[in-house]
């Protein structure tokens, strides 16, 4: 059985683990975080179906205690029909369940300029 060290608590865990059995942190959540935060951002947009998020890497910051902050931008249509770029900072917390579902994440803060 192959093992690796948890990047949060440094304990030995199985190589295929998605969650550390010692500290409880999810191990590969960068892409999941981007998708979840984008869903929270879309709720605040006037025309969410028109939203375009960057394909390149957003800034994902681990805050501890299963909390994450993503900084990025979205190009979306405003109420006047013009395409505008809005920067955002979204902080979420994993509260349990399947991490691929929005209901497994709690929105703590979302600021858009």
User: pLDDT digits over 42-97, tens only?
Assistant: 999 999 988 998 877 578 888 988 898 989 999 999 999 999 999 999 999 988 87
Question: Helix, strand or coil for residue 36?
Answer: helix
Q: Which two tokens stand for residue 12?
A: 């030995």
Q: Longest Cα pair distance anywhere in the chain, in angstroms?
A: 58
Predicted model pTM: 0.70
Question: Helix, strand or coil for residue 96?
Answer: coil
Average model confidence (pLDDT) for the chain?
85
Query: What residue ranges do the domains of the chain occupy?
Result: 28-112
């Amino acid at each position: 059985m192959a093992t690796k060290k948890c990047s949060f608590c440094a304990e030995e865990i199985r190589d295929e683990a998605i969650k550390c059995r010692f500290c409880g942190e999810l191990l590969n959540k960068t892409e999941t975080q981007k998708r979840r935060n984008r869903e929270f951002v879309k709720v605040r947009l006037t025309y969410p179906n028109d939203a375009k998020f960057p394909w390149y890497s957003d800034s994902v910051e681990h805050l501890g205690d299963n909390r994450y902050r993503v900084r990025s931008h979205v190009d979306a249509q405003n109420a006047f029909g013009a395409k505008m770029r809005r920067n955002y900072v979204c902080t979420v917390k994993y509260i349990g369940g399947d991490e691929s579902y929005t209901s497994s994440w709690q929105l703590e803060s979302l600021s858009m300029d």
